[in-house]
Structure 1
Amino acid sequence: MANLTSHIHCQNCSMAALCLPYQLDQEGMNRLDTIIQRHKPLHKRDVLVNAGAPLKYLYAVRSGSLKSYTIDDNGVEQIIDFHLPGDLVGFDALAEGQHRSYSQALETTMLCEVPIVSLDELVIEMPSLRKQMMRLMSSEIFSSKQLLGTLNNRSAHQRLAHFLVTLSDRFKARGLSSTSFRLTMTRADIGNYLGLSVETISRILSALQGEGVIDVQNKLVNIIEPARLRELAH
């Protein structure tokens, strides 16, 4: 491709260990790389997929972030996931061949498109790729069940603490700081995801800051006492 992202390949992608190429040998990476297309950049609030759209691609996040959400019959939005670099978007469409949720960029976001037809052929021929697909889907299912447990069994303080701890762990897995990171989602998004009001999110953040557990400056979060935050999350 003639655009600026044409030099990006699985072999030199910093997110490869979290994505489809994980544990593939050089030949396997080369074969996977031949089917991947580099998606043009998404800008903040651009919609990647709409609910009901046919499944054509899975999308691997190279940089940036997105949120996935559903809209009920009354037009109420429910955020179901936040996607960071290394995540795959579109697993919800595998069952019926169409997307069940919307996905929207939270900031400028770069993606790789993985054609589902070509991927189906490769996973048959490459057991290691099939194993990684299963691993990624299993991880997504576990995360969904974990969120349900968080909403059912934790207080508002515990929900937000757990959310921050989970983000911290996810950033660490990506080679980034686990104690200082920027929230690309709004407080309204976080509240929607956790089943809390914006006012409650702001109140708890202020309380955690007052206790010296975290420091929040606009969207930048610094975790001052990681162990204490984990205690609060549980």
Structure 2
Amino acid sequence: MGDDPHRPRRTKKEPVSLCLPMGLDEADMQRLDQIIGRRRRIKRDQSLYRMGDRFDMLYAIRLGHFKTYQVNSNGSQQITGFQMAGELLGMDAIGTSRHQCEAVALEDSEVCEIPFSQLEELFQDMPVLLRQFHRIMSKEISREQGVMLTLNSMSAQQKLAAFLVNLSSRYATRGYSASRFQLRMTREEIGNYLGLAVESVSRLLSNLKKNGVIDVSHRDLELLDLPTLRSIALGADPCS
């Protein structure tokens, strides 16, 4: 994949070690590196795995973005999350050995395959790795649960503000700009995830732009006033 001028730019040097930084020393990183399998490229709109597929791999996103979704009883999709480089896919299947959702690339992406059986063997010899993995799982579960519980009690404006603040924080954690990035998901997908009509998403983005909180053009987004955006997410209404 060639360089994409719209990809978020790192604000610090990208680590050259692995697809998934784990905070390990060099020797342990080398052992982990040995079990990581091929780098797999996933084209835009292609599925990495589907609901019900047998679980044998975790996937560390090296490049690109994904969405995960489940299919409701009426056959419609319900998006359950958006994932970006530096995050893990497939943890939903650890307990059942079957994937509970479908993961689809939002753009041309690349993942590193991590055979879970070999990872479990490493856990026995490397308690530090096991602790780090538990920490990653705990943070991911807490983040998803926190987002879903919070969104249920929010107004439409709060939901969108919280969504943008969450994206900003995750990009910053991974060394990207916290204020300038491109929305890899469509307005429809954002609305599906937040439980909002696409018209509401477009209207709310326009209102935030009108009030100088953000600047948005198609999918290019700049957070001009992150403190105000955070205040909106917490229930303040400075844009009224």
Structures share fold, TM-score greater than 0.5? yes
Q: SS at 1:95's partner residue?
A: coil
Q: What is the CA deviation profile of residues 111-142 of structure 1, one whole-angstrom value per residue up to 9, with x for unaligned ones?
A: 10000110110111111110111111101111
Q: CA contact under 8 A between 1:57 and 1:114: conserved in structure 2?
A: yes
After the TM superposition, which residues 63-142 of structure 1 pair with which residues of structure 2 at under 5 Å, given as runs?
Answer: 63-142=63-142
Q: SS at 2:140's partner residue?
A: helix
Q: CA contact under 8 A between 1:23 and 1:128: conserved in structure 2?
A: no
Q: CA contact under 8 A between 2:36 and 2:114: conserved in structure 1?
A: yes
Q: SS at 1:124's partner residue?
A: helix
> In 2, Cα distance between the equivalents of 1:53 and 1:120?
20
> In 2, Cα distance between the equivalents of 1:23 and 1:169?
19
Counterpart of 2:67 in structure 1: which amino acid? K
> In 2, Cα distance between the equivalents of 1:102 and 1:199?
26
Deviation, 1:82, is 0.7
> In 1, Cα distance between the equivalents of 2:56 and 2:145?
26
Partner of 2:230: 230
Partner of 1:8: none
After the TM superposition, which residues 84-233 of structure 1 pair with which residues of structure 2 at under 5 Å, given as runs?
Answer: 84-233=84-233
Kindly indicate whether residue 8 of structure 2 is the aligned counterpart of residue 12 of structure 1: no
Q: CA contact under 8 A between 2:40 and 2:113: conserved in structure 1?
A: no
Deviation, 1:150, is 2.3
> In 2, Cα distance between the equivalents of 1:182 and 1:33?
31
Q: Which runs of 4+ in 1 moved over 3 A?
A: none
Q: SS at 1:118's partner residue?
A: helix
> In 2, Cα distance between the equivalents of 1:189 and 1:38?
30
Per the normalisation by structure 2, the TM-score is 0.89
Counterpart of 1:97 in structure 2: which amino acid? S
Partner of 1:3: none
Q: What is the CA deviation profile of residues 6-53 of structure 1, one whole-angstrom value per residue up to 9, with x for unaligned ones?
A: xxxxx714x76xx3x422111111111111012331110010001101
Q: CA contact under 8 A between 1:40 and 1:111: conserved in structure 2?
A: yes
> In 2, Cα distance between the equivalents of 1:77 and 1:143?
21
Partner of 1:42: 42
> In 2, Cα distance between the equivalents of 1:190 and 1:137?
24
Unaligned stretches of 5+ residues in structure 2: 1-14, 235-240
Deviates more, 1:150-159 or 1:113-122: 150-159
Q: What is the CA deviation profile of residues 145-188 of structure 1, one whole-angstrom value per residue up to 9, with x for unaligned ones?
A: 11222222110000000000010111111111111100000111
Q: CA contact under 8 A between 1:60 and 1:113: conserved in structure 2?
A: yes
Per the normalisation by structure 1, the TM-score is 0.91
Q: Which has the higher contact order (CA 8 A, sep 6+)?
A: 2
> In 1, Cα distance between the equivalents of 2:223 and 2:38?
35
Deviation, 1:73, is 2.2
Partner of 1:24: 24
Instruction: Give the % identical residues.
Output: 42
Q: How many positions carry a matched residue from both structures?
A: 221
> In 2, Cα distance between the equivalents of 1:77 and 1:39?
28
Counterpart of 1:12 in structure 2: which amino acid? V
Deviation, 1:193, is 0.6
Q: CA contact under 8 A between 2:44 and 2:106: conserved in structure 1?
A: yes
Higher helix share: 1
